[in-house]
Amino acid sequence: PPANRRLCKFLDDLSKIESVSKELQSSSVSLLDARVYFDGLLELHPSFSTHL
């Protein structure tokens, strides 16, 4: 059903966001790395631009 597909996509998106969040908490992340991660999130979710 369409609802299941939407939920699966939502779960996949949340998983990507969580992986970026965890990586940003690493002590080895440089400012350049952080910028690359944020730019990647903005490509996936342009609506995040008001929050990042």
Which residue bears the tokens 């996936």?
A: 44
- The pTM of the full predicted model, rounded to 2 decimals, is 0.72
Instruction: Residue 26: count other Cβ atoms within 10 Å of its Cβ.
Output: 8
pLDDT at 12: 93
- In angstroms, what CA-CA distances link 4 with 1, 11, 14, 33? 5, 10, 15, 34
Whether the per-residue pLDDT at 46 is higher than 80: the answer is yes
Residue 1: pLDDT band by 50, 70, 90 thresholds?
confident
Percentage of the chain lying above the pLDDT 90 cut: 81
Q: Where are the domains of the chain?
A: 2-50
pLDDT at 41: 92
Q: Is 49 exposed, middle or buried (0-12, 13-18, 19+ CB in 10 A)?
A: exposed
pLDDT at 17: 92
